[in-house]
Structure 1
Amino acid sequence: MITVKRIYEKPDKDDGFRILVERLWPRGISRERAHIDLWLKDVAPSPELRKWFNHEDEKWEEFVRRYYLELTGNAGIERIKTLMKENNNITFVYSSRNVEHNNAVALKDIIYGIK
C-alpha cells in the first residue's frame, strides 16, 4: 500500500518505508528529522515540468499526463515496484503545500495505473 505525506508532518511507524520523491531536499528539515529511507530524485518531475505546473489546480490533469510521459522507462519506477513487494507500507514523502495536487499524489496514481 502506498500513502503520501508531507515531509513537515511527524513521521509515524505506520508510514513504513519512506521515500522522498522530490528533486531537491526540502528546506528547514534535517535528514534525522525526516526519517527518509530512500531519496528517489529521479522520479520527481523535471524542473521544467514542475515550474510549468506551479501547483495550479487547473493544470492538474495535463501535469499528470506530462509527468507520466517523463516517467516512461524510468528505472525508479521499477525500484518502487520492487520495494512494494518487499514492504507492506510505503509512504511517498513530498514538500508541497498543496496536499491534493502534488507530484507524490500523481506518482501514486501513476504507479497504481501501470502496475
Structure 2
Amino acid sequence: MLQYKRVYEPAESSDGLRVLVDRLWPRGLSKQALQLDAWLPDVAPSTELRREYQHQASAFAAFSEKYREQLVAHPEHWQGLLGMAKQGTLTLLFAARDPQLSNARVLAEFLEDELDRRDQPSSPTCYTNHD
C-alpha cells in the first residue's frame, strides 16, 4: 500500500516504511527528530520544476505532467520504491502544506500506476491469419 503524508505529522505504526521524497530537507526539523527509513532527494522534482511550480493550484496539472515525464526519464530514482511498496505499507513524506498539491501525491499515483502495469499479464499473441 502506498500513502503520503506531511513530514510534520507524527509517525504512526501504520506508516510502514517512511521515505522522504523532497529534494530539500524540511524546515525546522533536525535529522535526529525525523523518523524515516530513507531520504531520496533524486526522486523529487528537479529544482527548475519545483521553482516553476511554487505549489500554485492553477499550475498543478502542468506540474504533474512534467514531473511524470521526469520520473519516466529516470527510473533508477524510483525503482527501489516499488520493491518497498511490495513489501508492505510505504509512506512518502513531504513538506508542502497541501497534500493534494504535493509532489508526493504525484509520485504515489505514478508508482501505483507502475505497480498496476507490472501486475497485468502481457497481451496474448495474435494468431490472426495463421493457418
Common topology (TM > 0.5) = yes
- Give the 3-state SS of the residue equivalent to 2:28 in structure 1: coil
After TM superposition, the structure 1 = structure 2 runs for residues 55-70 of structure 1, keeping only pairs within 5 Å, are 55-70=55-70
Which structure 1 residue ranges, 4+ long, deviate > 2 Å from structure 2? none
Residue 16 of structure 2 aligns with which residue? 16
Residue 105 of structure 1 aligns with which residue? 105
Identity of aligned residues (%): 33
Q: TM-score, normalised by structure 2?
A: 0.83
Provide the aligned length of Structure 1 versus Structure 2.
114
- Between structure 1 and structure 2, the one with the greater Rg is 2
Unaligned runs of 5+ in 2: 116-131
CA-based RMSD of the aligned residues comes to 1.0
| Superposition deviation, residue 32 in structure 1 | 2.6
Query: In 2, distance between residues paired with 1:6 and 1:84?
Result: 18
Please tell me whether the aligned partners of residues 19 and 40 of structure 1 are also in contact (alpha carbons under 8 angstroms).
yes
| Superposition deviation, residue 114 in structure 1 | 2.2
Q: TM-score, normalised by structure 1?
A: 0.94
Q: Deviations over 1:61-110 (max 9, x none)?
A: 11111001111133122101111122x11100000011211100110011
Query: In 2, distance between residues paired with 1:14 and 1:30?
Result: 23
Unaligned runs of 5+ in 1: none
